[in-house]
Structure 1
Amino acid sequence: MVFIIASWHLPIIGFDSRFVLFAQEMLRHGPGFFPTTYGEPYPDYSGFTTWLIYLASLPFGQVTSFSAWLPTCIASAVMVGLIYRLLSPYSRRWAWLSIALLLLTNTFITETRAVSLDQMLATVSFAVFYLAYACDHFGSSRRLWLVFALLVLGFAIRGPIGLVVPAGVACSYYLFGQQWRRFWWFGMAALLLLVVCTLTLLLLARVSGGEALLAEVVRMQVTSRMDGSEGSSPLFWYFASSMGNYALAYPLALVVLVIVALTARRQTSAALHLLYLCAFAGLVVMVGLSIPQAKKARYVLPMLPMAAIIAAYPFQVRTGRAFWWLRGLTLTLCCFIPGALMGGLLAVRPRFPEALSDIGPVLVGLGLLQLIALPLLMRPRLRLYGLPACAVLAVWISYIGVFEKAERTLYDTRHFTQGVLERTLDDKAPLVLHSMGKDAKGIKFMVNVNQDLQPVFTETPEQLSAVKGPANVVMSNGDFQQLQGTPLGQLPVWFSGRFDKEDYVLVRVPAP
């Protein structure tokens, strides 16, 4: 409920636009093996995630932010539940603080409140880790076969990488535990499953779109991620960038591992062994995903639950002065997070008066949470659970009540698109989207069009000049200014507005 609250009909922005458009076309034309844009199969993803959004949208008859986010929110809730089930046999304090650190992580919040294949894959990967561990320690060997079902699920969600990542997590578990027979047996079975799933995907691509779609599936789901054509980052980029993207969990986890390495060399316990397993699994994820050239912060979400578990380990152990200091530091940070957020919002409010004009209720809520948190800092029996709860509520209230609203105001595409449609729907002239990209801003425009529309895409002034009137042209104001001095630049602006944080205009090319 926390994850999905206040999400009924928000404007669709950013990466969500692509999957909402997929689901909209599926609602209009029926399900398929691949999602479609402009009526054509889209090769970068299988249709599974779109199916989930489609099923969630069926009761409402339309795709909304609520139905689009619901599958991701459920996956995030499952992750929280699995962390508690994994750690509560050792310590409920450890379980609670791990969950709190997870919920305080910026990337987890932003990906939960979105359509996120990587968040779903993170849940699948952690579920594989949990089942492998439960088989050895909780007497759940009969459920081990579910690991292979989860690998297939990961492939359905994210393609080949969606099977490789959870398989790597399971192999890391067996490798660290020196279970050589299971390691080789499972590794070979996962490789065979990867081959079978990949051949099935290619067969479905050929059935859906012939050789052309098959070649695009191979390029977009495999080769482009490896060769850097989707962008390139340094080899160890994840290890440095995660200090900010995955704070507080990741930096605290590194500190905990250093302290454990210095103080617990000869100690042995089940909890410490679990800590080592989490560290090794998280390392395998980060090293493995560092090999492809294309890197984005959300790709390493599968390591986040492991990082949160490690970061909260000081609340499992009762001895050690270093761990005592870490517990105090973590709880102190949690205590002052509401006040820090309130002060930050007050500081930046004058710079963004329109976006932050109605944050009064949020400031009141943060103030109340800070007033509750301060006395808890001096109450040992209450602060362990109360301070993290105050911090989590403060962060989520600020994100949903301020950041999310401001972001959707700044990057809104709905109002401009609706204005364009009101002026062109009854017009039989074609709609031209100039320099917007068929797979970029074009999708952000089309997600607000509740009907089939085949716009004309142009990229250069020469291509635009070749368009025969009458036609309606949408372009950024910057591109329009570059056309000054040409016949197109002399056309009157029919409509203007903000689109994806830029000024855009609608001009009409008259008939020759």
Structure 2
Amino acid sequence: MRPLRIGPSQVAYRRAWLLLALFALVLIGIGIGLRDPWPADEPRFALNALEMLRTGQFWFPHRGGELYPDKPPVFMWASALTIWLTGSVRLGFLIPTALSGFGTLLLVVDLCRRLHGRRIAILAGIALMAALQFMLQAKTAQIDMMLTFFTTLGSYGLLRHALLGPSKRWWLIGWAAMGVGIITKGVGILPLTLLPAWLWFAWRGRVSRVRVIDLLQGFGVLALCIAAWGVPMILMATFGDDPSLAAYRDNILFKQTGQRYTDSWAHLEPWWYYVVNVLPWAWMPLILAFPWAVPAWWHRLKRGDADVLIPLSAVILIVLFFSLSPGKRGVYMLPTLPLLVLAFAPLVPGLMKRKRLHWLGFGLLALLGGILLLAGVLGLIGVPALEKIAQRHAVYPWGWWITIGVIAMVLLIWRRPRHGLEALGIWLVVFWVSWSTWGYALQDHARSPRDMMTEVASITGDQAWLAMPDFDEEFLLQSRQPSVQFGDRTPVSKQFPRAFAWLQADDSRWMFALGRQAEDYACIDRSQVQDLGVQNGDDWWLIPAAAVADCQGDPNAGPLFIAPTTLPDPSGKAPHL
């Protein structure tokens, strides 16, 4: 029998939880509709969703008319649904990750309430929202926040069975969540990192036992969830008459899973990358409490506290799992945060009384606020290095930085070191609200090529066909006219000759290309080129067909794809950008 948890009354808890939930919805949701998808990943998934809506091809994601085999389709389905419901990419593309972040918060708070009581549950929710990577990803339209929701649901189901069960229903729900997580992004099996410590505690009689029949049933449910998409996909790819679908099948099943983990071809980093380069900021400010948390965890290990040690062991194993792969991205650490908060939760009340921890919070706020204030002032007075960066990216954030820097200083004076964590928490709220409003307004024109592609359409005419060799997704997404591309994996050296041949077939066609790539071809008549300026740090040229009349074209150098997201919809019901 679990010990009685003393905490706030049920009425007080419901009031506190309602306030926390409303606060989280506002903080996570503010800014939706205020910006376009930004590189690197957001425009890609928005393209996937739009092409699903406009072509009706939901089983095999496409991007720019070309099959996109890098990720399974669940996140694209969710994006397509919210874009269809809102009728707008701008309104819809951020909703799946916002809801996933909110759902993750609900799961963490509810499990902490059941394990540790009402007061700790509220504190755990606040701790999760304070984590920098959690809030950043809840406001970013990448797959990883949805993956984190499913891995957290999987962990929730398994932990309900282990610590509060036995509960066969939650055990199977956990496995179902892992299955859906796998067809969201291949590493949906991360909750299985709970099993080693669980089995050890089960052997000692501290938690519900795991029977062989339970494992078989769990794997069966997981397999069924994967099969719901995987089996039709494999059948259509295997027995269809399109060889590109068979290539998609092999890529998504093998290259993007085992090979991507064991022999990654991108984002190559040393084994210590996460511990040194990612976790110090991703787990901030939770990481400030490690000097006190580590001895407390050791004490709980000696007394066999499964509530804390099972999720903590999963955090360690997930970090180790991703550290062993040569390919690494900081966002891979996001699924560790809910588990880390579960491990921290019963320690939080005691940690909040630590004077030195408040001093560390005070110091962190002084550092962050001081850097922003100093950088804002130096940028305002025109320090050359900062001015050069601002001109290059067409973003002048000096007023924003000075404002939130001054707010940090005011909070430091008001709350003083003995309330450093409170001051830091208030400032983080200010930062995320300003990031999602003022920050979006400052950055959107520079990170989204909406204005540039509108200018292109005004020059060429919105019915003129546009070639995009070595395309970036954000330009194809924002294109206002029929567009073609030449294969994402086709070498650039083959894309341009194919583009030349395509342009020479019709004088009314145009090409939109990176200036540093196009200038390698001396055959292009520079007098006819229109320099569109800088977008996302690169110069872009608009080139009419007549300007490449002397270029040697090669119609067989690579595939050509028509991007259906740019084609007009006769029904008038297509989502607008």
The TM-score range, normalised by the shorter chain, is 0.7 to 0.9
Counterpart residue type for residue 211 of structure 1: A
Residues 287, 188 of structure 1: alpha-carbon distance in 2 compared, 3 angstrom cutoff: farther
> Could you say if the C-alpha distance between residues 187 and 507 of structure 1 is closer, same or farther in structure 2, counting changes exceeding 3 Å?
same
Kept in 2: contact 1:338–1:395 (CA 8 A): no
Is structure 2 residue 301 aligned with structure 1 residue 301? no
By how many angstroms is 1:432 displaced? Answer: 2.3
TM-score by length of 2: 0.74
Matched, 1:431 2:466: yes
Shift of 1:63: 1.9
Alpha-carbon separation, structure 2, partners of 1:121 and 1:173: 23
Q: Deviations over 1:160-207 (max 9, x none)?
A: 322x21333456544454469517555544555555555651541441
Compare 487-496 and 8-17 and name the one that shifted more: 487-496
User: Does 2:109 align with 1:76?
Assistant: no
1:39-76: per-residue Cα shift (whole Å, max 9, x none)? 34322223221221122122332322x31111111111
Q: Residue 236 of structure 2 corresponds to which residue in structure 1?
A: 207
> Whole-Å Cα distance in 1 between the matches of residues 325 and 302 of structure 2?
37
**Conserved? CA contact 1:252–1:311, under 8 Å:** no
Partner Cα separation in structure 1 for residue 301 and residue 251 of structure 2: 51
- Residue 154 of structure 1 deviates from its aligned partner by 0.9
**What is the CA deviation profile of residues 104-157 of structure 1, one whole-angstrom value per residue up to 9, with x for unaligned ones?**
333223211122221112222222222333334445724333112212221231
Aligned pairs (5 A) from 1:13-412? 13-14=38-39, 15-64=41-90, 66-88=91-113, 90=116, 94-138=120-164, 141=167, 142-158=169-185, 160-162=186-188, 164-169=189-194, 172-178=197-203, 181-182=209-210, 184-192=212-220, 201=230, 203-207=232-236, 210-226=245-261, 227-249=263-285, 251-252=287-288, 254-260=290-296, 266-267=302-303, 272-310=305-343, 314-317=347-350, 324-329=354-359, 331-333=361-363, 336=366, 339-340=369-370, 343-344=373-374, 346-347=376-377, 349-350=379-380, 351=386, 357=396, 360=399, 367=406, 371=410, 374-377=413-416, 386-387=422-423, 389-401=425-437, 403-412=439-448
Partner of 1:415: 451
Distance 2:190 2:417 in 1: 43
Is there any run of 5+ residues in structure 1 with no aligned partner, and where? none
- Compared with structure 1, are the counterparts of its residues 375 and 490 closer, same or farther at alpha carbon in structure 2 (3 Å cutoff)? closer
Which residue does 1:459 correspond to in 2?
Answer: 492
1:3 Cα deviation after fit: 0.9
The 10-residue stretch of structure 1 (30-39 or 91-100) with the greater mean CA deviation from structure 2: 91-100
Q: Contact between 1:242 and 1:250, CA under 8 Å: does it hold in 2?
A: no
Deviation at 1:507, TM superposition (A): 1.3
Structure 1 position 500, deviation (Å): 2.2
Percent identity, aligned pairs only, is 17
Mean CA deviation greater in 115-124 or 352-361: 352-361
TM-score, reference length from structure 1? 0.82
Q: Provide the C-alpha distance between the structure 2 equivalents of 1:369 and 1:231, rounded to a whole number of angstroms.
A: 35
Residue 298 of structure 1 aligns to which amino acid in structure 2? V
SS at match of 2:533: strand
Distance in 2 of aligned mates of 1:432 and 1:301 = 38
Q: Secondary structure at the match of 2:539?
A: strand
Query: Which deviates the most, 132-141 or 239-248?
Result: 132-141
- Separation in 1, partners of 2:98, 2:231: 30
Give the partner amino acid of 1:7: I
Q: Which residue of 2 aligns with 1:7?
A: 32
Q: Give, in angstroms, the shift of residue 5 of structure 1.
A: 0.9
- 8 Å CA contact 2:412, 2:420 repeated in 1: no
Q: Which amino acid aligns with 1:445?
A: F
User: How far apart, in 2, do the equivalents of 1:212 and 1:233 lie?
Assistant: 28
3-state DSSP of counterpart to 2:483:
coil
Residues 372-427 of structure 1, C-alpha deviation per residue, up to 9 Å, x if partnerless? 56444588xxx599545413313313432455444434333222222222223456
Q: Distance in 1 between matches of 2:101 and 2:81?
A: 19
For residues 195 and 187 of structure 2, what CA distance do their matches in structure 1 show? 14
> 1:182/1:309 Cα in 2 relative to 1: closer, same or farther (>3 Å)?
closer
Give the secondary-structure state (helix, strand or coil) at the position aligned to 1:507.
strand
- What SS does the aligned partner of 1:126 have? helix
User: Does structure 1 retain, via aligned residues, the 8 Å contact 2:60–2:73?
Assistant: yes
Distance 1:202 1:43, change over 3 A: farther
Does residue 501 in structure 1 map to residue 537 in structure 2?
yes
Do the aligned residues in 2 keep the contact of 1:98 with 1:312 (CA within 8 Å)? Answer: yes
Question: What do the CA deviations read for 1:58-111 (whole angstroms, capped 9, x no partner)?
Answer: 2332322x3111111111112222222233453556444443443333322321
Q: Tell me the secondary structure at the aligned position of residue 354 of structure 2.
A: helix
Residue 307 of structure 2 contacts residue 343 of structure 2 at CA under 8 Å; is this kept in 1? no
SS in 2 for 1:234: coil
Q: Check whether the contact 1:83–1:305 (CA below 8 A) recurs between aligned residues.
A: yes
Q: Which AA in structure 2 matches 1:488?
A: I
Asked if 2 retains the 8 angstrom alpha-carbon contact of 1:278 and 1:309, the reply is yes
Matches of 1:348 and 1:91, distance apart in 2: 49
Q: Could you tell me whether the CA contact under 8 Å between 2:108 and 2:338 is conserved in 1? A: yes
Query: Any unmatched runs of 5+ in structure 2?
Result: 1-25, 381-385, 550-577
Residue 310 of structure 1 deviates from its aligned partner by 4.3
**Equivalent pair of 1:256/1:314 in contact (CA under 8 Å):** no
SS in 2 for 1:317: helix
* SS of aligned partner of 1:504: strand
Q: Does the aligned pair in 2 maintain the 1:205–1:213 contact within 8 Å?
A: no
2:423 and 2:288 map into 1 onto residues whose CA distance is 17
Q: Counterpart of 1:78 in 2: which secondary structure?
A: helix
Give, in angstroms, the shift of residue 21 of structure 1.
Answer: 0.7
Q: Contact conserved, 1:228 with 1:293, CA < 8 A, in 2?
A: yes
Question: What amino acid is the match of 1:157?
Answer: T
Answer with 500-509 or 353-362: which moved more. 353-362
Query: Residue in 1 aligned with 2:520?
Result: 482
Change (3 A) 1:174 1:489: farther
Whether contact under 8 Å (1:132, 1:173) holds in the other structure is no
State the alpha-carbon separation in 1 of the partners of residues 144 and 224 from structure 2.
Answer: 22
- Taking the aligned partners of 1:481 and 1:134, their CA distance within structure 2 comes to 61
